[in-house]
Structure 1
C-alpha cells in the first residue's frame, strides 16, 4: 500500500528511457526497452582460472547497450533508485536457476568507507538489501568489510587487478559465516578478481558455498 501511494505521487519511470509506467509496476522497464536487453541464455557463467573461491556465477544479462549505460548511471551519476529493478531482475534469475530457499544469507561486495561517502551509497549493498526482501533471505552484508582503499579496478589490467585487490577485505564475525551457503552480490563481473578475493576470505572463515550473483557481465 505504501509503495502504491509513493508511485501515485512519484510515478515509476523506465530506468533506460524514462517512459512513465503504470503505478503497479514492479520492474521499472518499459516493453520496448525490455526487448532490447541481451539476457544471458546460459544457466550460469563458469568460474575461470585455477584459484576460484566462488562456486558458480549467476548473471542476468550482457554488459552492453542500454544495460551498460544504465549501470554506469547507477554507479557514477547518482541514480540509486535503479537498485529495485536490478534486484528484481536478479531475483527472477536466482529463482529460475537455484534452490534459493536453502541459502542462509546474502552478502554484498563492500566499498571502502571513503568511497562510499563520496558516492553516497554502495550500489551492490542496495541490490543485496532489496534481493533479501524479494527472496526472504537474511542480508548479512555487514559481515564483510573493505579495509583497503584500492584503486579503481576498471582502470587496471587483469594481473594488476589481482594485486590491487589482494587483502582488501576482512570478516567481522567468522562464527556467523562458518558452514553457511550464501549469495555474494555485485553489480558487474569483469575479470572476477574482486568477487574472488571476497570469496577467498569468506571461504577461509568457513563459508560452505558461495554463488556470485551479478546483474551483468561481458563474460560467457
Structure 2
C-alpha cells in the first residue's frame, strides 16, 4: 500500500473507532481536520488584525497602517518581532488554561497547530535557525510535571523542521506567578531569572522563542535580553495568544 494511502486508511480507521470531537464544545465533527475544533468554535477564536505594531504585534483599534506602539517606541524590546496566532479571549483562553493548569497536555496539538496555521508565512520569512522555549524553574516544573512552552515548541520544531534546543536557556531563579502582578511588578519579578548555558549555541543565530501567552511581554522580553547578551543574531517571539490591551 502506498504510504499516503496507508496514512489515509489509518486516519479513517481511527476516526471510526474514536470519532473526533471538538476540543472546545465536545460536539462530534464529521470532518475534523487536524485541529479538532468545530467551525463554530473556531469562529470565536479571532486572530489579531491589522493595523498592528510591527514589533510587539499588538493590534490597534480602527483603520490605518501598521506602526510601532508607544510602548515599543519608549522602551524598545530586545526581540525583533513578536506575533501571536490568536487573541487571548473566548475558547482559546479556556483551552490554554486547561492545557496549562489542568494537565490536559493533549491540547498542545490544537494549540500548536493553530500557530502553524496562522503564523507559518511570517515565521518562514524570518528563516529561524533554531527554536527555544521559555523555560520553567525546576521547582515549578516538578509541581506541574511539564513545561507547556516546551511541548508547543516540540510540535513547532517538527512542523517547521527547525532544530529545538532544550537546555540552552535556563530559568535559574524562582519567580512568583505573574498573573496577579502589574506590568512593572512583572518586569521586576523576572529580572535576572534566566541565563544562557552555552552562548556558542546561539551566537549569531536567528532564534525563534516560543511561549504560550503574551500578556505584558515581560517574560519573553527578559528571555530576549539574556539571549541577545549571549550573542543571538535575530530573535522572533511566537505565542498561541496575546492580550490585546
Task: Give your verdict on TM over 0.5.
Answer: yes
Deviations 1:8-36 (A, max 9, x none): 65444322112234587311211111111
Cα distance, 1:92 vs. partner? 2.2
State whether structure 2 residue 47 is matched by structure 1 residue 39.
yes
Tell me which of 11, 16, 21 is aligned to 1:13.
21
Question: How many residues are paired up?
Answer: 220
Deviations 1:136-174 (A, max 9, x none): 111113211111110001111111111110111111111
Further displaced range: 48-57 or 206-215: 48-57
Contact 2:21 2:32 in 1 (8 A): no
Please give the residue correspondences for 1:132-171 in structure 2 after superposition, counting only pairs within 5 Å.
132-171=157-196
Query: Which residue of structure 1 lines up, in the alignment, with residue 33 of structure 2?
Result: 25
State whether structure 2 residue 79 is matched by structure 1 residue 54.
yes
Further displaced range: 67-76 or 16-25: 16-25
Normalising by structure 1, we get a TM-score of 0.91
Contact 2:32 2:38 in 1 (8 A): no
Q: 1:87 to 1:3 in 2, by over 3 A?
A: farther
Question: In structure 2, the residue corresponding to 1:215 is in which secondary structure?
Answer: strand
Cα distance, 1:43 vs. partner? 7.5
**Runs of at least 5 residues in structure 2 that lack an aligned partner in the other structure:** 1-6, 57-70
Q: CA RMSD of the aligned region, Å?
A: 2.2
Please give the residue correspondences for 1:65-144 in structure 2 after superposition, counting only pairs within 5 Å.
65-100=90-125, 102-144=127-169
Q: 1:166 to 1:101 in 2, by over 3 A?
A: closer
Tell me which of 177, 200, 211 is aligned to 2:202.
177
**Runs of at least 5 residues in structure 1 that lack an aligned partner in the other structure:** none
Normalising by structure 2, we get a TM-score of 0.82
Cα distance, 1:77 vs. partner? 1.1
Tell me which of 174, 182, 186 is aligned to 2:211.
186
Q: 1:15 to 1:174 in 2, by over 3 A?
A: same
Separation in 1, partners of 2:153, 2:116 = 10
Q: 1:167 to 1:12 in 2, by over 3 A?
A: farther
Cα distance, 1:93 vs. partner? 2.3
